[in-house]
Structure formats: C-alpha cells, structure tokens
Chains A and B, each alone.
Chain A
Amino acid sequence: MIKMSGIRKAYNTGRIKVEALKGVDLEIGAGEFVSIVGPSGSGKSTLMNIAGCLDVPSDGGYELDGESVEKLNMSQLADIRNKKIGFVFQAFNLLPYATAFENVELPLIFGKVATKKRQDRVVELLGRVGLQDRLGHKPAELSGGEMQRVAIARALANNPKLLLADEPTGNLDSQSGKAIIDLFEELWKSGTTILMITHDFNVAKRTNRVVYLRDGLVVTKAADIAQGIKSWKHDRQFDTA
C-alpha cells in the first residue's frame, strides 16, 4: 500500500534549515494496522502528511497503492486525498456550524457524488459508527468520543483504502479512546489499511506493527527499539500491564 524510499523533508524556517525526515524507508502492505511512535520532533507528523499527500517530500520516492505520487499536481493530489485516503485528526476538525450529517457529507460533495446516493451513504456511515440517532446534531452537542466517530465516518466516506490517524485518542478519555480503537480494529478486520500516530502505549500495543521513529529516521535495530520503548514507557509513566 505504502512504499517510501529515502524520503527526506526539509523546512526552511528563516535562516535555519530543519530536516524533519532524513531518509525514511518504509513499506506498509495492504491490510496492515500500523502505529507510528516516537518522541516529539521525531518527524511523525511530517511522515503522516507526506503519506496523506498533504505535503510532498523534498527528496525520495513515494508510491501509494502502486501509483507514484511525487510528480502529481495539486488537483491530482486533491483527488487522491478524496478517494484513497481517510484522515482522522486528534482535534476532530469537524465544521462547528454543520451537523454530523453535513460533516460526513463533505468528502462526498468534493467527490461529486450524486445527492441521493450521497445521503444514503451518509446515513449508512453514521450507522456504522453507531450514531444513527445523531444525524442532525452539531459538534457542540456531541461528546468527544461521538465527535471522533463522526470524523471517522467522514474519513470512510469515499471508501478509502488507507486510513491515516494522527493521535485519534489524544483528546479522549480512556473509555472513549478504547471504543475508538475498537472501531479501528473492526475497520482493519474488514480490510482497511490503517496508519496511526500515537503516544499511548496501550493503543500501540493493539496494532499489528509498531514503527519507531527517532530524529527523522525509522529505528530498525531491535536493541534501539527496546531502549526506546523502555524510555518512552518511563517518560509517560504508563501502566505496562
């Protein structure tokens, strides 16, 4: 599904050139459920943006679903984001003035789906995330967990092959967070490839693969990973049980 080779990304912030990714090689097969972990500033978000075609790498090759995307223009990238990728954000990013229904409808509108078909699809999606009775509610009238469900329903609107989630449980209590990960697991089992950034060890544990990122590189040495995870657990003071 994802094939990255030697991905580099440099930002120019004034005089200082910051290299967020320093040559990432990463391959994720179809149907995988992968979590990306690593300390802040390790390049997780940058990697996610590039994976989601929101950003383009400074150097290196990226093949998404068998298609090389570095050469595509803005409009083509928008199409890929619309059709092949679903985004779930930490801050939900729902339109506050629109209802759950309208929020889920957005990618379908951008994808030029016919009205009737679109409405059926929205009802189906909100049913799938358990919000069939919340269609007309605005984000302010929903709980955090419910908002994230709406966001997931929105991410699934155009049946994407790849779901990208940036700390989807970061703003939720542990109960709602668990329910969201349950939902992810369900989606994964039904065939969706999921790539998720997380800081939560318990969340990472439930994915079938963990990619550890440090200083803009994927850490591959087993010893380093063990060390990293150890310090990570220590930092976060997570319950290892």
Chain B
Amino acid sequence: MFIRQIFRDMRGQKLRSALTLFGIFWGTSALILLGAFGHGIHAHQVKQFHGLGENIVIMWPGRTSMTYQGLPKGRAIYLREEDVSLLKAQIPDLGPISIEYQNWGISLKRGKVILSSQIAGVSAEYGDMRNVIADWGGRFLNETDVNLRRRVCFIGNDLKNDLFGETDAVGQVVEVNGVPFTVVGVMVKKGQDSSYSGRDEDKLFMPYTTSAMMFGHTMADVVVFKAKSLDKHNDVKDQAYKVLGKKYKFDPLDKQALWMWDTAENMEFFSSFFWGFRIFLMMISFATLIVGGIGVANIMYVVVKERSREIGLKLALGAKKGFVLVQFLLETLFITFLGGATGFMFAMGIIRMFPSFDLEEYVGIPSISNVEAIASVSLLMLIGLAAGFFPARRAASLNPVQSLKM
C-alpha cells in the first residue's frame, strides 16, 4: 500500500516528479562522473608527467650572475664528464646520475629508409631515471656498453616504427652517420607531456662514451640526477651547487650558474593544482545534488499540503505521529533512491563505455574508487533524508481537526 501510494503521488505530480527525479539523477551522475573524470585526468596527467621522469633534476650549464672571489659575473660554466664522478664521490645521498650529450640532425639508415634524427649519448642509469624502459625482448644500455664504447643503440618506439615498421628491431643494425649500430632495445610506449630536447619516442640513445668518441664531445649538454630518497632531494640539489661551485668557482647561491629543472617541484605544484581542480568539480556536483534535494523537499511539501486531509483522517483513526513521519520519509527516500540509482547506473555505464571512445590520450580513463562510490551514495541518502525529514515533520505535526476541515 505504501509503494502504491508513492506511485500515485508521483503520477499526480507528473511534471514535478519527473523534474525532481531528473534533478537527483543529474546530480548523482554529475557527482560520480565529475569525480571519475577528475580522477582519470589527474592520473593521466601524472602518468604523462612521469614520462619525463619522477623526482629528477635536469641540470644545464649556465652563466654566473654574481661576482665571486674576485671573479666577474657572466662567466660561462660548463659541465664535463668528470663532474659526474666528482658529484658521485662528494654527495653520499646522490642516487643515479647520467651525463647527456645531444646530437641533432644525425642521419640514420636502415635498408632503404634514411631519416634524420636526434641522438642522445647517455649512461646506463639514465633509462630508469627518465622512464625510458625497454619493451619485451630488449634492454636499455648497460655499464658494459658504456665501458667498452660499444656501437649499440636503444631506440624510441616511434623511431622504431619509422625505421623498421612492423618487423622486430632488436638485434638488427642501423647505420648512424654510416657507422653500423646494433639495436639492443626499443622503448615501451609512454605518455610524455614535457621534454627538454624532444620526445623520447623519436630519439636514439647510445652510450655517452660512444657518442663522445663519434662526435667529439667534451662538454655535457645536460646532467640528469636523482636523490637516493625524496626527503634528501633538496639537500642533494644544494650540495650539487656547492660541489660544482667550489670546482668552477661560483657562488653556491647563484642559481643561474647552473640551471636546474626539478620535476619534483613541478609535481608538487601539479598535485595541489589537481586537487584544487577536483575539489572544484566535486563542489559543482555537490551543489547540483543539493539543488535536486531542494526539489524533492519542495515536491514533498506540496504532497503534504495536498494530502493534509488524508493525514488528518489517519491521525483521527489513531495513527501515531511516527507513522505519518515514517510514511513521508520513506516516500522521499524512495524518490531520491530512484533518481540516485538511475543516475549512478548511468554514470557507471558511461565510465564503462568510455574506453571505447578512444579519448584516453586527452582525458585519461575515468575511474571511481569504492570509497568515492560509497561516499556519493551516502551523501545522496543524507540529502534524501534531509529533504524528506522537514516535510514529513510538517505532515506529522498537522492538527487533525484543522486538516479534516479542508
């Protein structure tokens, strides 16, 4: 009888009920979808960001901007191969470190394919730091390659497709400026939204020793390093300034003598930005849901007014206040639940179907955690309860004499 009555009420107020249901439906799906997309975009951006490397410091040679020990400012500071070993020796908290020589517009030849590419001469530690990871069947450059100045190379996945197409590249030979190099690995596909010298998927990596020999480098283009642990990160950066400042005679506080790009710092900014963004999204959907709740409360007030005669009668027949209260509360909860459940299913449907839309590259994969789902549902129930309580209380406190007169 309860349920029938609820449907009867909803039929009696078709448009209003439909709009209210839609409000709750929309509020719920917005809450869940915005939450899920916020989550997806965040995760995607983090992943993209990690394409460059997690918590690494990229250091470039610069020019002094302070006078130091009688030396003028504006002196160029260069980084050399031996600085890497110096830093390694002097900074105990330093983790992996790699020099990087950059060579632009180098001709690569594989069979009939000839193209111009960028070549990076790096150490074995470079791969893990920069998330340049070998796909199945291959490996990154190793210590032996570096020590023996081997003519081996590791290629980005895009470059591999250009050179080899579908065929397997590992073990094959590529000519670099006419010198044959053996491919030891191909990079696994990764997202990368920032770089300092082009995307890794288009590059060819070779041991820095081989690169120095072939191209005659004496000065590093970049040095990439990472602290052993994140809490030593800033410490290691300061130390690097001190050690190199002592060697090259510049003020350790002169941040322009050596440029450092700190991805940990970026990550921190990025994280707080995204949390703000997600909270903003949640507030919007929360507001939508509240508006839906107000709609439900409104319709229930109308229902109470319309049915005050019936309520009066029930009270006259001996119904207790609690009975009337529960009846109206249940009715509101039912409407909220119906709207909420359809909204929830709609949102989940979209989240399920989303991967087939092929938009992953732009917004990531939306996902919702159990905690978020439970929180959304409880929030909805809370709103339903609040929206139902006040009209129900009004119904229960009607005066039977007056409501019967109407």
Contact = CB atoms under 8 A, between A and B. Distances in A.
Interface of A: 49, 52, 54-55, 74-75, 78-79, 81-83, 87, 89, 93, 95, 97-98, 102, 106-107, 110-111, 154, 158
B319 interface: yes
A102 B401 CA distance: 23
Contacts, number: 53
Contacts of A74: 320-321
A43 B209 CA distance: 112
A112 B401 CA distance: 24
B315 to A, nearest CB: 7
B319 A89 contact: no
Given A75-B321, A110-B314, A110-B320, 12 more contacts: A54-B404, A74-B320, A78-B315, A81-B315, A81-B318, A93-B313, A98-B1, A106-B314, A110-B317, A110-B319, A110-B323, A158-B318
15 contacts: A52-B316, A54-B315, A54-B400, A54-B401, A55-B401, A78-B318, A87-B317, A95-B313, A97-B5, A102-B1, A106-B314, A110-B317, A110-B318, A110-B320, A158-B318
Contacts of A102: 1
A194 to B, nearest CB: 17
Interface of B: 1, 4-5, 8, 309-310, 313-321, 323, 400-401, 404
Interface secondary structure of A, over-half rule: helix
Contacts of A154: 317
Say whether chain B's binding surface is mostly helix, strand, loop, or mixed. Answer: helix
A52 to B, nearest CB: 7
Given A75-B321, A98-B1, A89 B314 contact: no
Contact of A89 (B1, B315, B321, B404): B404
A102 B321 CA distance: 20
* Cβ-closest 8 pairs across A and B: A82-B318, A110-B318, A107-B317, A81-B318, A110-B319, A93-B313, A54-B400, A49-B401
Contacts of B8: 97
A222 to B, nearest CB: 33
Which residue among A54, A83, A111 has the maximum number of chain B CB atoms within 10 Å of its CB? A54
B318 A95 contact: no
Contact of A81 (B5, B309, B310, B316): B316
A140 to B, nearest CB: 13
B318 A83 contact: yes
Contacts of B318: 78-79, 81-83, 107, 110-111, 158
Nearest to A80: B318
A107 B401 CA distance: 18
